[in-house]
Amino acid sequence: MALPDIILQRGELLVTESSGSEIQFENNGGIFGQIEMVSDVSDNYGVGNYIWFNPEGAVLFKFDDISYSLITVDKVLFIENYSAP
């Protein structure tokens, strides 16, 4: 099922927990995620990008049995440059 028709505020990203690579960090609480929806005014992020983000303060919810995190772009620590083999 597709995401509901929602409009994100400026600087918001909707993310599912996921990673395209095998990078693992052992000394922090960051999470890898894949962007599922971006604000219409976002220039730096796109649907499908893999990111590493700080989950502190994220709004967590489930829709159609999928867990989502609603975060702001200031929580993004980097974009994972992943290419499928």
Per-residue pLDDT band for 3 (boundaries 50, 70, 90) equals confident
- Identify any residues that bridge with 68 across adjacent strands, giving them in sequence order: 61
Q: Which amino acid belongs to residue 70?
A: L
Residues 6+ apart with CB under 8 A from 43: none
Residues 6+ apart with CB under 8 A from 58: 69, 70, 71, 75
Model confidence pLDDT, tens digit, residues 5-48: 889 999 999 999 886 666 667 777 788 899 999 987 777 899 99
In the predicted structure, residue 4 carries a pLDDT above the cut 70 = yes
Going from N- to C-terminal start, the domains of the chain cover: 12-80
In the predicted structure, residue 66 carries a pLDDT above the cut 70 = yes
Q: Which CATH number fits domain 12-80: 3.30.830.10, 2.30.33.40, 2.70.98.60, 1.10.760.10?
A: 2.30.33.40
